[in-house]
Structure 1
Amino acid sequence: PHGKMILRPSRKFLRSDELDVPDPPGYQFCQARGLIIIDSPKVGKVAVLPVGMAQVSSVILSTKPGAELKKGDEIGYFQFGGSDVCLVFQKRSKLEILAKD
């Protein structure tokens, strides 16, 4: 296995009427988010944050806490299209991202 999933909190849909702001921001704050933390023996903990924006705001997490994951395993998906996925690595991972021109 390449890592073990250790956290899967419930989904939260943030509605604009839940914010204490003078003008409702509308669709800008209607994102669905997921959070999966993978504990990898090679790079340490990796946070995977899928963010479904506006009308494609459905993040479905399909893996379970404690699941042993290997390369290519599905951990979740966007139900209606796609948006962004953020990866956050521990500093000790010494990960280098090499951009190609």
Structure 2
Amino acid sequence: MLAYMVPLSIQTLALRATTPDQLAEQVAEEYGLYVRLSEVWMLLGYNSISAARRAAYDNRLGIATSTIPGRKGRMIRSRDLAQWLFNASRGADPVTSRRTAQ
């Protein structure tokens, strides 16, 4: 799949989902348990992969990332991405929502 098509496909799933769990299942089924930051940086609202990587490094991404031994790049759990996208597609501020819930 072309790199620019991944964000569009995930965005379509987010708009069609009725619950965060449904979206998480669809994203995991389509892309696996982890999605590379390099595939979804545009969805997260960054102008470049470099900006997204820097935000992840500084813990300003608004979504948790991790590294997996033997794999290159930062990864985002499908479930976390789905929750973030579901909130964002419904107009909620995911970062603010997370802070108030804690």
Normalised by the size of structure 2, how large is the TM-score? 0.24
Structure with bigger gyration radius: 1
Normalised by the size of structure 1, how large is the TM-score? 0.24
More helix by share: 2
More strand by share: 1
